[in-house]
Structure 1
Amino acid sequence: MQKEGERLIPINIVDEMKSSYIDYSMSVIVSRALPDVRDGLKPVHRRVLYGMYGLGVFSNRKYLKSARIVGDVLGKYHPHGDSSVYDAMVRMAQPWSLRYPQVDGQGNFGSMDGDPPAAMRYTEARLKKISDEVLADLDKETVDFQNNFDDSLTEPSVMPTKIPNLLVNGASGIAVGMATNMAPHNLSESVDAIVAYIDNKEITIDELMKHIIAPDFPTGGIIYGYDGVRDAFHTGRGRIMLRAKINFEEVGNRNAIIVTEVPYQVNKAEMIARTAELVKEDKIPGIYEIRDESDRQGLRIVYELKNDAIPNVVLNMLYKYTALQTSFSVNNIALVKGRPEQLNLKDIIYHFVEHRHEVVIRRTEYELKKARERAHILEGFMKVIGTQDDLDKAISIIRHSANPAEAKQGLIDEFDLSEIQAQAILDLRLARLTGMELDKIRAEYEEIMNMIRDFEDILSNEPRRYEIIKNELLEIKEKYGDERRSEIDYSGGEMSIEDLIPDEKVVLTISHAGYIKRTSLSEYKIQSRGGVGNRAATTRDEDFLEYIVAATNHQYMLFFTEKGKCFWLRVFEIPEGSKTAKGRAVQNLINIEPDDKIKAYIRTNDLKDAEYVNQMSVVMVTKNGTIKKTSLEAYSRPRTNGVNAIEIRDNDQLLSAYLTNGNSHIMIATKFGKCIRFPEEKVREVGRTSIGVRGITLEENDEVIGMIVANDLESETVLVVSEKGYGKRTAVLDYRETNRGGKGVITLNITEKTGNLIAIQNVTDEDGLMIINKSGVAIRMAMDEMRVMGRNTQGVRMINLKNNDSIAAIAKVEMDKDVEEETAETEALPASVNSDLVEFSEVPQTGNNAVSNMGDEKTLRKIEEEEERQNRNPQQDSPDQNTDEPQ
């Protein structure tokens, strides 16, 4: 209710909120979060130093309780919480936080492990010697003072620092709508750069960078690459990559990675704990044990390696996944005349030099004023006590005066003195009236007059003022300069983990249950067609190998699931396992849904190559005969949860995926032995989430089993394989070209003996073939051993199958011409990749378990003996297995 005499003023809430928010944001920017470009200090740090200056806790005095210092700063200058002042003071005392600490702390002031400092009542502090240079000449009217929060005291608005503090210690802070993150630098280098600027005001930033090479962090480490440094110096913004400093040692009988310096602002304990988690999750294999052996002598973290680990590879994994490599994002924003500005290296030096120039002028003016005041008094002394008669006369005036005022006036009238001079004479001790003291007064007066002339020369001579600034800076360098701590690796850049991973040929295997691994090609050998082969992988019960992929470590793998989603992995990110290892579940590597399953993949080169991804297309086919073509560019931005590759309708699933270049021919095969061929251009390119178009028309109960992409129609042949081990090679041109969406032509004479078609692949005589059956047996054969046959023939037996076993998957591989066929004791295995695209189709699972999972050792020995016998005497093709008769 409005009281009498009161008046209500309506205010627009939008305007009021805008005004209040601007006031708040400016307060945060100017009075809290951003440093001043001149002294490099935020208000809280400036107040801590001034509070300690007022308490007299200099570097040559005894320590004072931190609580006393904090209380003094709070009560006089900083009206905020005590933790804000204490936390700021603690950071100013931590040698791992500031390149040149400004507070000398005694007690527990925290650690690099993130341990908090002891309470302020337990710790003590005093100023560091270098802080004396920050506060030097503060009492000589060198800077402006402003009222404190309650106008009861004054405080400096800036410090008259001789130290280029913003450069050497940097700063960080978050304001409203802006933030600053300035890197620390070496004091000696900074002084050299400033001196070079004073000598030549037109100096370029590149020339300054010959003196101040790069940031110099308190914790040392290695600056990896120079582009970020160059950007930061030139523009005030840049991303600097930091790496820990490491060396390799032998600890006991193991290799070990020893870390002696960590990147700036890294919490050592958190880094070690996170690394241990990654080792436990198998994201960083090869580490046996991690120990923190840091002590008073310095930092030492030991990563003890397993016997089979390659130190450089493990180190690179540590760089990739842990804080042993971090980035420091430089954002040089500071207050210039009360306004935030982004500054490059030369800007920072310019503003510091201008500040020092002003300090020198104001200091000289103050000293000149004091010298003139002293000279004035000395002139009065010489007038009164210059001769014995004058002295006697002055003494007589004082003795016969009734009071000091009368005496002062008498001296003024008699000797033509000023009041100041007369008062100084009255204040003289009798001892100063001797003849010896008169000589001292005259000598002092002469010295003062010389000083006055010198001060006047300084004020009238700008080059001399800059020379003074230079000399003072060189003195600072002599006193406090030290060696650079952070090394620079000029050859470094954005870390690429493949730099230390050999780009060797590998074989990827994926089981029906979704277990994946990569195995070096060297674990496999070669056999002739018709051999039985040996165990290729250990699988779980009721599981079998469904896909086999030939690749190299540095390539990309795009996984496509039956629900139409696409996921990414680099080949080297797939866990390595021996030939008989079962591998890791795919769900542990990519975020695939529990009820989804990988159906196809594409192996590609660099997805960051814009020209490559725009030239290539992804062609997919579903079980119901739908085909879709999309630019590879749509799949070039990996996401953790994958992306939608194709819209899948009910009772359908994605089956195959290939890369094409726009000039290919597409062939789609069905389980009933039909195949269709049409040009890729018949399929128009659509968006990533579209459903696609009809690729082949299916008969009742028929379904697509695979697709190939043919590029060389003259020389390529088509290989089709049935589930009971029959296969056939036919020239691509034997399949007449039709329109998309037709029923296709017969590709294999399907009978009960052959079983349904399970795979289609394009091959040449130079290719090899890797065959894996459901029991885990693998065999490799050369394609030049299979002659090209007619399109509708039954084909030949490609592999001898035991009992009710059947083929699970095939893959095209490259034959090593230097390797001779092995005897029965050698193991069957694929070679390296021949083309960019290999695709596998799903085969219905039978009740047969893998050979490696069968029973006890006695049973296993019998099976191996039978395999050995059949390898020595491979079964020849019977007439009905190699017929070329038409259907």
Structure 2
Amino acid sequence: MSEIIQDLSLEDVIGDRFGRYSKYIIQERALPDVRDGLKPVQRRILYAMYSSGNTYDKGFRKSAKSVGDVIGQYHPHGDTSVYDAMVRLSQDWKLRHVLIEMQGNNGSIDNDPAAAMRYTEAKLSKISAELLRDINKDTVPFMPNYDDTTTEPMVLPARLPQLLINGSTGISSGYATDIPPHNLAEVIQATLKYIDNPDITVNQLMKYVKGPDFPTGGIIQGVNGIKKAYETGKGKIIVRSKVDVETLRNGRKELVVTEVPYEVNKSSLVKKIDELRADKKVDGIVEVRDETDRTGLRIAIELKKDVNSESVANYLYKNTDLQVAYNFNMVAISDGRPKLMGIREIIDSYLNHQIDVVTRRTRHELDQAESRMHIVEGLMKALSVLDEVIHIIRNSKNKQDAKVNLVDEFDLTDAQAEAIVTLQLYRLTNTDIVQLREEHDELKALIDKLRNILDNHDALLNVIKEELSDIRKRFKQDRLSTIEAEIEEIKIDKEVMVPSENVIVSMTNHGYIKRTSLRSYNASGVEEVGVKSGDALFRHAEVNTLDTVLIFTNKGRYLFIPVHKLAEVKWKELGQHVSQIVSIDEDEYVIDMQFERQFETDAYYILATRNGMIKKSNVSMFKTSRFNKPLIAMKLKQGDELLNVMRIDSSQLITVLTNKGMSLTYMSDELSDTGLRAAGVKSINLKDGDHVVMTQLVEEGQTILMATQRGALKRISFKVLQVAKRAQRGITLLKELKKAPHRIVAAEVVTPEHTQYTLYSKDQQETGEINSIHLSEQYTNGSFVVDINEFGEVEQLTVK
């Protein structure tokens, strides 16, 4: 052999070969033909089984034989790919109307593989006969098979719109297709309406084709998505499982799933739900059971008592394949190339195919009828001169001589002469002429009818309509999938995701926060809290894991942290700094911590600043879905900072104390409801060089404890306060000294539950009994409790 070496660049070779490969798999493997809705391997399987007589009206035959026929004659590929395609055509959870009936294990909705082809048996289904009907009447073009030993159809006659009825899915090079199954009766009805009115709109067609009809049922949401898909070929719908709520004998409820979305693996779905239960991602599920049997699909999800079943279902819709999105991508081979098509184009292509099929069939039948008519006329002519015909035949040398003599004598054609000389003697009876005349009349009527179909387009369309109507009558089934117009928004109740549990949440002065179990807290006691040296417990409270912590900072911002997102640590451990949960500035620190569950609209937060500004905002405004950064609670002016946060759900007294000993008390009603970004209004009219030390709620029976920088404490009763209007200067509580005046550095509203106070300097702290500080109604500076020469200037006061 002579050696031929071509010098080609790798880019050209790869590009050319991949281009050829892509064209092949697009046209000859992965995408269905719009006319019969079949991929080449599916078409070859059906035709091979039809050719070998493996039809619905006969017995089952080993699948291996059918696969062998397909591989040997039409599809020279691996037997696994052919058998897999054959199995899929028999799975009633994949196809709305199966094209192959199979005996034996043909897989399951759990994605179990089918038994090997040597074990299963198969035959064509009854509806497949409609795809292959009239294929021997020259209705479709044939082409040579791969080795030129026989021919195979390029497309099947497909007397029903198979592409829409059973849908298709496939991936090729650069193209993919996802066409959902539809209801046979609806699709045929829409086709009939299209025949009557080719200008029918998609909206009008949707009166008949409501939407997809999946073999697994389910609930389809989103009519707009269906309409868009039918117009453009692309669209999105939501497919949701059918879920019912049943009550068990023990009073518990269970969610019962009887229909799942199309092409969802049931066993994987059950496994995923059980994993969510085991990992405690969803609270309230006791057990998940797959109770599917021969009567139908059934998944039972048993719930705890008093759990909201709708909330659990919504969570599962959101986080499992109990609900999925289905994206239409209606790509099919049209005129030899892939095309994205809407429903009108698909029906139009199918109708054009049927016009071609019926035209070719009619021509074929007309040719046969005219040939038979010609023979019948010759036989009738021969019977009229029977004696002479017999005489000529007896005197002829052989058959060929007899044919020539008959043609010459009676002006017959060669075909007529052939029919006469091969006529059997028993048919030469007087009654035979009557039968021939009846057959002649029938043939004449048939020929007239067939010619009318070919000459009259409306008559041809009527034939298509009659045959489609007959198929619709014989194969129609009730719709399995329910269609809902709107896509339902899934609202997930936090109570479903988080186990409800009471815990202790604590915060230290330096901003360390932790969540502790009641068991750990009770075992250690409040005094054994884990804190750093120089730090102290600022606040702790028993809350629920379903609550939310709102942490306010000096910069007028707040951190939104769900309690369940806090790491659970022991009471003796330190916890984590809030900056590790939500990033805050270096000079920003925590000033208060509040807890919310429902974020009620009839409650308010009052925020007060060092420079005498105050505002009231509805609690509901603080609800957010953003946890990762601080949010604005109050807009602060330059040099100002947030001091106090109060929560009220009714009108209450607010008392304000300043550094220079001024006091103002007024009702919270004087504050109007404002947004989070508002700067607020003036709370108290400050003197030059003065600033607010405390703004808190106060009520009768409470007292106010004040600490000065010189180590003095003064405690006043509620009746000393004078209720006035907001933004006034207020009354003086401290006696002004010319030399080393007292200045209030900290103050707290004291309730009857408070028994101890603690004073803090830079390096030391001093604890004492609150009741040891006598109530003062005089214009004094209080009593010294520490010596600042030894203790240092007082900076902070706490009560507990």
Length-normalised TM-score, structure 1: 0.66
Structure 2 residue aligned with 1:469: 464
Give deviations 1:227-251, integer Å, cap 9, x for gaps.
3222211221111101111111112
Q: Is the 8 A contact 2:311 2:493 kept in 1?
A: no
Distance 1:729 1:77 in 2: 90
Give deviations 1:250-277, integer Å, cap 9, x for gaps.
1221111111111111111111111111
Q: CA deviation at 1:364?
A: 0.6
Distance 1:517 1:230 in 2: 54
RMSD, aligned α-carbons:
4.7
Change (3 A) 1:284 1:207: same
Structure 1 residue aligned with 2:637: 665
Structure 1 residue aligned with 2:678: 711
SS of the residue corresponding to residue 172 of structure 1 reads strand
Distance 1:511 1:453 in 2: 97
Q: CA deviation at 1:328?
A: 1.1
Q: Look up the equivalent residue of 2:465 and give its one-letter code.
A: K
Q: 74, 77, 85: which is aligned to 1:88?
A: 85
Higher relative contact order (CA 8 A, sep 6+): 1
Distance 2:778 2:307 in 1: 50
Q: 795, 815, 824: which is aligned to 2:747?
A: 795
Change (3 A) 1:601 1:230: farther
Instruction: Write out aligned runs for 1:241-320 (5 A).
Output: 241-253=238-250, 254-320=252-318
Structure 2 residue aligned with 1:729: 695
Q: Is the 8 A contact 1:514 1:585 kept in 2?
A: no
Q: CA deviation at 1:728?
A: 1.8
Q: Is the 8 A contact 1:92 1:103 kept in 2?
A: yes
Structure 1 residue aligned with 2:445: 450
Structure 1 residue aligned with 2:650: none
Structure 2 residue aligned with 1:11: 8
Change (3 A) 1:250 1:518: farther
Distance 2:471 2:196 in 1: 18
1:599 equivalent to 2:579? Answer yes
SS of the residue corresponding to residue 599 of structure 1 reads helix
Distance 2:218 2:145 in 1: 41
Distance 1:473 1:128 in 2: 18
Q: CA deviation at 1:354?
A: 1.1
Aligned length, in residue pairs: 657
Give deviations 1:359-401, integer Å, cap 9, x for gaps.
111111111111111111111111211x2xx211211222222
Q: 343, 346, 354: which is aligned to 2:341?
A: 343
Structure 2 residue aligned with 1:760: none
Q: CA deviation at 1:711?
A: 3.1
SS of the residue corresponding to residue 241 of structure 1 reads strand
Q: Look up the equivalent residue of 1:397 and give its one-letter code.
A: I
Distance 1:35 1:549 in 2: 66
Unaligned runs of 5+ in 2: 532-536, 590-623, 645-674, 686-691, 698-705, 714-722, 735-742, 783-793, 795-800
1:479 equivalent to 2:474? Answer yes
Structure 1 residue aligned with 2:611: none
Structure 2 residue aligned with 1:839: none
Structure 2 residue aligned with 1:757: none
Q: 567, 590, 597: which is aligned to 1:585?
A: 567
SS of the residue corresponding to residue 79 of structure 1 reads coil
Q: Is the 8 A contact 1:794 1:884 kept in 2?
A: no
Structure 2 residue aligned with 1:59: 56
Distance 2:745 2:38 in 1: 87
Change (3 A) 1:214 1:541: farther
Give deviations 1:793-818, integer Å, cap 9, x for gaps.
432354766789999xxxxxxxxxxx
Q: Is the 8 A contact 2:709 2:745 kept in 1?
A: no
Distance 1:347 1:499 in 2: 47
Q: Is the 8 A contact 2:693 2:744 kept in 1?
A: no
Unaligned runs of 5+ in 1: 520-533, 576-582, 588-593, 603-618, 626-636, 646-656, 675-707, 719-725, 732-746, 755-763, 767-785, 808-843, 847-869
Q: CA deviation at 1:495?
A: 3.1
SS of the residue corresponding to residue 323 of structure 1 reads coil
Change (3 A) 1:490 1:405: same
Give deviations 1:324-348, integer Å, cap 9, x for gaps.
1111111001111111111111111
Q: Look up the equivalent residue of 2:157 and give its one-letter code.
A: P
Change (3 A) 1:415 1:67: same
Distance 1:447 1:669 in 2: 106
Change (3 A) 1:557 1:53: farther
Change (3 A) 1:455 1:541: farther
Structure 1 residue aligned with 2:234: 237
Q: Is the 8 A contact 1:218 1:264 kept in 2?
A: yes
Distance 1:346 1:875 in 2: 89
1:206 equivalent to 2:230? Answer no
Distance 1:518 1:281 in 2: 19
Change (3 A) 1:297 1:884: farther
Instruction: Write out aligned runs for 1:162-201 (5 A).
Output: 162-201=159-198
Q: Is the 8 A contact 1:232 1:239 kept in 2?
A: yes
Q: Look up the equivalent residue of 1:665 and give its one-letter code.
A: K
Structure 2 residue aligned with 1:489: 484
Change (3 A) 1:600 1:312: same
Q: CA deviation at 1:283?
A: 1.1
Instruction: Write out aligned runs for 1:493-504 (5 A).
Output: 493-497=488-492
Change (3 A) 1:263 1:805: farther
SS of the residue corresponding to residue 585 of structure 2 reads strand
Give deviations 1:18-74, integer Å, cap 9, x for gaps.
111111111111011100011110111111100110111111100000001111101
Distance 1:45 1:13 in 2: 36
Q: CA deviation at 1:291?
A: 1.2
Instruction: Write out aligned runs for 1:846-865 (5 A).
Output: none
Q: CA deviation at 1:599?
A: 2.9
Q: Is the 8 A contact 1:146 1:157 kept in 2?
A: yes
Length-normalised TM-score, structure 2: 0.73
Q: Is the 8 A contact 2:503 2:544 kept in 1?
A: no
Give deviations 1:282-301, integer Å, cap 9, x for gaps.
11110111111111111111
1:439 equivalent to 2:437? Answer no
Q: Look up the equivalent residue of 1:659 and give its one-letter code.
A: I
Which is higher, the Rg of structure 1 or of structure 2?
Answer: 2
Distance 2:320 2:84 in 1: 28
Structure 1 residue aligned with 2:670: none
5-14 vs 151-160, which moves further:
5-14
Change (3 A) 1:804 1:212: same
Change (3 A) 1:455 1:542: same
Distance 1:267 1:787 in 2: 76
Q: Is the 8 A contact 2:506 2:541 kept in 1?
A: no
Distance 1:875 1:441 in 2: 131
Q: Look up the equivalent residue of 2:579 and give its one-letter code.
A: K
Change (3 A) 1:434 1:171: same
Change (3 A) 1:624 1:515: closer
Identity %: 37
Structure 1 residue aligned with 2:534: none
Distance 2:273 2:458 in 1: 57
Give deviations 1:692-745, integer Å, cap 9, x for gaps.
xxxxxxxxxxxxxxxx98834424589xxxxxxx972299xxxxxxxxxxxxxx
Q: Look up the equivalent residue of 1:728 and give its one-letter code.
A: M
Structure 2 residue aligned with 1:406: 401
Distance 1:42 1:881 in 2: 97
Instruction: Write out aligned runs for 1:827-838 (5 A).
Output: none
Structure 1 residue aligned with 2:661: none
